[in-house]
A and B are shown apart, each in its own frame.
Chain A
């Protein structure tokens, strides 16, 4: 089987290599992709959308419809993980909860979670395989979080002018939550961004994108034609398009952040969102 696979793969590789003869060489200035369509983006981006970063204008405006479905794919991945993995709690199943008495370090195992209030000052809930945290790691990681988040907001907002945008900023935001999860525990993340909020935020993000598209119909434009908002913003068409790009990028960032945190929580806790990495 392995030999056969190797043989087939080598054969396919040789066949593929044989098809490369007509391709332009690397960096050819006169290749078809460099001459057709893409000059229109490069020359049109600034006058038509007020966006010096061509990638952003192509992503969110000229081909914004692709990006809407791309955001939908992200949302879909979150919903799929939820659908496949989430172990919703059933009644009548007893679970063991561990509480640590902070002053003495004594650990209590309890069958019901209600005996000790979750935010008690001298007890804390811990994972079954709890290990004492390294104070240096925890403090440094938590110290980093606000800087990561501010940088993420910069990446989202400055996507018109420099590399960046909704996807990159959203991933950075999600990374800040995941860093909290790695340095503390999953429950801290859950208390910062609950599962319900995350799912609602993911849906809201895609809704912002698709809603911006649909609302353009009311202003007489086509779907996702931000230029139709010119009269609404009281600005010229290119400025309205630039504004529209910013709005959809915010929607994208919201969805990406919420979905990635959701997937992290589900995969790291085997679907229980109780305890994990």
Chain B
């Protein structure tokens, strides 16, 4: 039992990311409001970014910029820069996707007067 708790304590952040991810996924599936779906997508992507950034953490390591006092002899003194770079890319991609999604939603609102998906579909079927 004690080991189980220790295991959980070491890995709790992974469970937190998966929980956040599932909250986002739920919003994307269950909500009919297009903007809420967008937010769900954002939450989903953010969870993945957290997952990556946590990979880069090292105990006792500082920010990934050379500290003149330490030099670069010991890579364990610096956090892993690669996940940070990757997530910078992922953040930019998710911002770009969000921008395009907002543009589409605005046009949908202009055409249909609502951003509730079921109402739009009802209207389209009515025609």
A/B: CB atoms within 8 Å of each other: yes
Stretch in A23-31, A89-97, A137-145, A196-204 with 4+ CB within 8 Å of B: A23-31
How far, in Å, is B60 (CB) from chain A's closest CB? 7
Number of chain B residues whose Cβ lies closer than 8 Å to a Cβ of chain A: 53
How far, in Å, is A75 (CB) from chain B's closest CB? 9
Pairwise interchain contact A29-B59, C-beta atoms closer than 8 A: yes
Residue B102, interface by CB 8 Å? yes
Interface of chain B residues 87 through 120 with chain A (CB within 8 A): 88-89, 92-93, 95-97, 99-100, 102-104, 106-107, 110
Chain B interface mostly:
helix
Chain A interface mostly:
helix
Pairwise interchain contact A2-B30, C-beta atoms closer than 8 A: yes
How far, in Å, is A218 (CB) from chain B's closest CB? 28
Q: Which residues of A contact B104 (CB under 8 A)?
A: 84
Q: Which residues of B contact A136 (CB under 8 A)?
A: none
Interface 0/1 of A107-121, CB less than 8 Å to B: 000000000000000
Complex partner residue of B18 from A13, A54, A270, CB under 8 angstroms: A13
Nearest CB in chain B to that of A18: its residue: B18
Residue A81, interface by CB 8 Å? yes
Q: For the complex, give the distance between the alpha carbons of A150 and B54 in Å.
A: 33
Q: For the complex, give the distance between the alpha carbons of A41 and B29 in Å.
A: 41
Q: What are 12 of the A-B contact pairs (CB < 8 Å)?
A: A6-B26, A6-B30, A9-B26, A13-B22, A17-B15, A21-B7, A21-B11, A23-B11, A45-B72, A77-B96, A267-B102, A267-B103
